[in-house]
Every structure is written in C-alpha cells, then in structure tokens.
Chains A and B, each alone.
Chain A
C-alpha cells in the first residue's frame, strides 16, 4: 500500500531562518506530488505541486520543493521564514493508477517565532 512519511512532526524556527521539511513516499510507479498548508483555523490550501518536468517546483509565498525520484522524496523548502508561515504542512501523493485518490502524510506543525 502507498504511504507518505513526514519525519518532522513539530518544527520551531525563528524568523529569517531557513526551512526544510522532509517528505518520503512509498510507491514504485509514477506519482503526482503536492504540498498543502493549513493556517490556524483555516482549511487546507495548495502550496505547490509536481507532475513532471523540472524536479524543482516553485509555489506560493516563496516556497519551493524538489522531487528526487531516486530517494522517493519531495522536500519542501523556504530560504527565509516569516511569522505568518506558522501553520501545519502536509505532503500528499497521488499514484497515477489511483485516479483521484490522495494519500496524505501525518503533517508537520511549524511555529515561527518573531
């Protein structure tokens, strides 16, 4: 069965620090990859997605992610975080032979201290 692992459950950073959140998935076939964000009290919204092509994808609010196929990873990065980035971040994977189904990781809670 497919699964998604997010190794960091809680991350605390100071403003201007760099961020990298890990995401690994288990599936041998072709995948679509997503990062979603949930700000406090709000619903999930898409940060960025990868389908094919350049493995480095850029999303909203200065976030980017790199797909490394050999490592089954899709790590999220941001060079300099802001207090407003405090949120929970979810990695999600769609296996191409599973049509619409998304499998989510357990999430990473990020707290950015001003």
Chain B
C-alpha cells in the first residue's frame, strides 16, 4: 500500500517551460488536492477534486491546470513556469465524509524555476 505518491521529487525548470507534477493514490479516496508550501505562508490550496471528472479552484489557482480522469491520479500542470512558482508542492487525499476525515499527504515535489 503506497498511499500517496508524487513524482518527481525535485525539478528545476527555466522560465516559460511547462511540466506536469504527478500524484497518484491507492486508497480509493474521492477527494484529492494540490497545495504549495512557501516559507512563512503555510500550505495554500491550488486546486482540488471531489471525484473523477470534477475539479475546482482553490486559493491560488493562477498558472496551474488540473484534470481528474481517474480516481487514482490527479496531475498538476504548470503551463508556463515563472520564478514565483518556485515552491514545494504537496498532493493530498481524503476519504468520503467531508471535512471530518484527515488528509493524507504525499512526500512533496520541490520545484525551482530559474
């Protein structure tokens, strides 16, 4: 049981490049989300999904796209990377039951945009 996995662990991009951060879960959780973690700012929600085919924006969605074609996968796409997107990105999942359940986090992807 892998839980929540993220790839890659580290990535360096040049300004303007695009890339996809991968997130996969084997817990059959309906809710998945992406956060970015920046020093002194905690975790901020980028996008989330309450099930396959359903996505919505969080606090800081600009510059990111998501899709959810399966329950297991929730990739995050950076369309044209900017230095302001340098951050650590965490994917999280949660089982059914709304806000009563804890969220399970992946190990994170550390992204640097030059």
Contacts and interface: CB of A to CB of B under 8 A. Distances in A.
Given A51-B100, A106-B42, A100 B105 contact: no
Contacts of A9: 40
A90 B42 CA distance: 7
Interface of B: 31, 33, 35, 40-45, 48, 50, 58, 90, 92, 94, 98-100, 102-103, 105-108
Contacts of B99: 32, 94-96, 98-102
A100 B108 contact: no
A5 B47 CA distance: 22
Interface residues of A, number: 26
A44 interface: yes
A43 B98 contact: no
A45 B94 CA distance: 13
Contacts of B102: 34, 46, 49
